Structure 1
């Protein structure tokens, strides 16, 4: 029975056998002899790794077992090769499968794959007694030492010389390759198996399925799974485990549920490995029904769920507010002597808090985790989130009496008071905290900073910040942003910058919106160079830079008549993968106009139009004025019509300026089209524009003998209008 994998192909050079086309990996592993030596013929060789001394020893005691001992104790692989070849030249000695085994193993573990291949071929071609068994044993040994490349080479040499390794050899190697997700080598080994006429077992096909799911070839994996029975190889429990795991990890949970039911209908009996793998996967996807069904079947089979299964099951139950069931699972674990992970108790407490069942949460703590701090903290946080201050205060007092209230516990309640009650109450709690001999930490002072910021007491907040800085602490993200925002609102820009510098040097990122506010505040006071420095620190601290930050700096540079620096900021913007928006384009165009770089003006204008963006009226006026002064309107001649048509109320001045400019540059057709658009908008050409078209079109009408307007009653172009005006 073979599977068809015609869609998956391996390409090897035509002149090199595929099993010799894998690069060697050079590592050294310790190992023990896989073959027992005969103590009757074995004599201990010299301990020194000395070639001449080893040869001298073997001249008197040349026997396969003694040679093997010498090879194993020779550290240098090149010396081992010389000794092996020397022995082959001795008339009274013949190498056997055992000696070949040891030299090949030594070379393979040393990464000398070229010499290893040569000896493998010699062993396979010479057909020594036990050659096949020795080569197969080498494959197993290399797999055991994670030398998979060497194992593949040995296998390739075996099959090329006509040996047919057992299916166990292939399965052992395939299983190891699957663990490394080495699909190309898995496919190579499988094809060698097929070429040798060896019938795959379910273990073989399981390895193939597993690697297919690992490389996201889901449909191909499912197809092979469905064809197993048709080819006379029934899937086992391990097969279903592989398929279900592959589907769930690739987001095909519904398909996994269908196959699970199919498996159970076929009366397969899952083992402990199956349950340990699949129950946590379904729980992680919040598939409570399937998780509970498997847990019940597991219990019915007298299998005891381990802590991994129970913890995942408890979390899933808590997410679905099945808190009684979650509590029962924990109690059952404790009854059999299994200690549940602390996280499971925390999950149950969080579930009670979300369900607002605080009394039950307290009872749960008292009955099941009286002395665990983390579940008590979870309840304290739940009380604060629900605004249940008195319950939280009472819980903290109990924790303190039991010696369980650490600094983090006090900070939970203190932070909530600073946010929702007031700084005075916070200082009262701080006093109690100190009386209880709990030393405030950075989070304590950060909470006080937030409390002062809420009351606009930024002087006090800064004093607390300076104390934090003296202790080389850092603010949390929330406190950091709140302090910088408040200082910016109060126009205390220097202090805000000071806070940012300190936090950035500590690699603490600032929220994007707050950073935008800081950059704008710095630019508004005319300190654009400082803003540039702040932005350069953003990468170091991990602060994200949005498009608006770059635009703010570009605008400040443009207003400071530093148009060249605008392009530098643009390059940084592009490197930072920020989108160039309409405001950025407008600033760029106006800056290029200021530098009289009319080609760049036209380039940025074309990019805007291509992206469906429209410059504002100030930018349009600057662009057209710059191009007209330099007689370069033709650079945007194809875009002028679209720009004007999308303007809300273009005035006659712009039309007349553009028409005259285009006409002067020799773009008469574009000028006529623009005049048509001008008249459609109800604007009146000035005398200069009128004179241009009278002079050109009268001559053209007279020379043709027939007025242009008579060619088509539907046309309404420049020629028609002027002919009518002249009475021709």
Structure 2
């Protein structure tokens, strides 16, 4: 068979490689037959390699090696090496190459063959093989060309050996092997990958000196990296350089700029570029593509600019660009971020109607959003939809539900989610377990937390520092601070095995290697130091800082702020300033929070001048003031009766894009009332309603301040408005107001106010009835006194019953209805509780006593005498006995934490 016939046979039977191989094997096995040409052997090798017929390639090599002449055999086997390398079979290629080198020691492989092997190794990210092949090239004395150098440099850059890549670049011969634009591009990409944009920019000068112009890929790489580093102005200068070299920026260039501006929060600047791309076509600007639209949409969504995002979505729909799952996911994330989960659900329906397939990430976005808004039923319905569409919930899905139950302090519900995960074959990840572990410690369920920890260990979840920190914080929160300190000390030597201090169940914990040892970090020490300072053990906390420095764990701003806070609360401002000095020496930057703590402490001591010094210092150091800073300043100025100067700070806040909050206006209202400027106080109140909206706190502040300074009729007016608006009365000092009205002989006003509050369904402090009852009794209005006394009796009984219900509902984490009732029924501690301090009676006994007194015609007098003698005891939430709480739990069959379903994992 001649070579032409063999080539034709190969071409006609390319779809049947096994048949071709049998025919060629017969041909090559015949001693009399001639060896097919190198192109034919190469075609056969490529066919066998593409079909992954590795044993056949091995046989082909064995048949070709003894052929004569040796040069032809060497070339034929080289074609096998090249074919297998081109098919990314690097191990096979090197096996054939090794055979080639050993069988033909006097023949050097070609540079092209070496480059093919190097290229394949680079493509497969095998820098180890690149080095082996390169060393063989040096032994074979094969001269390198520019392509070889480019491959070697790419391999070094990809593996992080940038210094070696630059050294190789500097060693490139100057005559036969000059660097080209690809060489420079490789180095530029390597420098940019490591964030060395300035060094990468310097290469442009080297290129210019060598007469090599940068291409658009190099420019785009640099522009993209500069933008990611936040060096937008340098990136803009580079765009101008492109134009000078007659290179027009393409859509990749503009997308890099837009992406960087959005990440830097300059979304409107990015949007302007986007608009220019659409409008200024005469300038040669590229049209925005799908990626451009998605970048702008993502920028709007992350910045919370919902309406602009909505307009962009409409534009994308009009141009047929809103068709990808990526675009829908971006818009869904934006809706969820802006707390529009129901709208996100509607978008999901629309998405399916448009034929766009939601993926797992799509569903998880919506479920997470619904969980964060407390819409657990809606989240469950989306999970059902997932399953219906063939996408089972994953660990991320369940973790969103788990997190919701934990934030609601419903640990039992969280455990049910964990059990559901196990039954559905979905393994809880480390993050899921840590969420539940943190919640258990927070709820004081330490024994159950320890059970969960044991299960994590049994399931080979290596305990990291995050888990250890959760346990340490849990111990501190539960009052076991000394045990936490002991565990942290043991972690330096034993790692997570130090958790053996929790009990015998944890003595088996062993870190497998010192390299992976779980050692305390800055957060660990922050937890301990924070709790030591709260416990007043500052000396021990300071020793921990010294220990940190000895262990090369640098104290962070949080730790320093903890000390500053502790000293400020103790009134030791000079000690707080010493901490600040140490922060500056250690190079730890001062934060707005640090200055706020100092300003607050100085305000308590009335040192207004020192506060002004700190404010000036903040400005000099470029530290931005926040709303807390301004509120502290307002408070200090109002204390010094410089209220108008304090009020002028509102304008300064707005100029600095800081929105005054309710506290800002409340301080000013109080300040104006303090200097008896009630007109200005009322004006400030009206401004506050416009700026912050109609809130209970603002009305309560205005009412309470009027009442404090004897403006009882004005206070009554504000309270009446609040009642009409349906506000609760948590913060209103209505008892003082009623007492003030009665003192000014405005008894009817007090009586009417009581009736108005009762008519609105408010559960009142029974002590609020006393001034009106006393006044009416003195006037001889027995009928009104009796009616009011009976209302007081019912209110006291409601307090007693409401407290029981509220406590039970809270303990069991039941429905929102009960929790809302608790919020309505249980107010802050009232003065009447201080009067009624003896445990001589109960709610039932009180009612009996009052009924008897009513029969005797002395209801008002009886209540008054009982209160004076201290024989009335109305039970509030805090007074319920531990025994009664335990009985309630047992009656409702609340089970403890069990992990039976973990056995299925």
TM class by shorter-chain length? 0.3 to 0.5
TM-score by length of 2: 0.40
TM-score by length of 1: 0.48
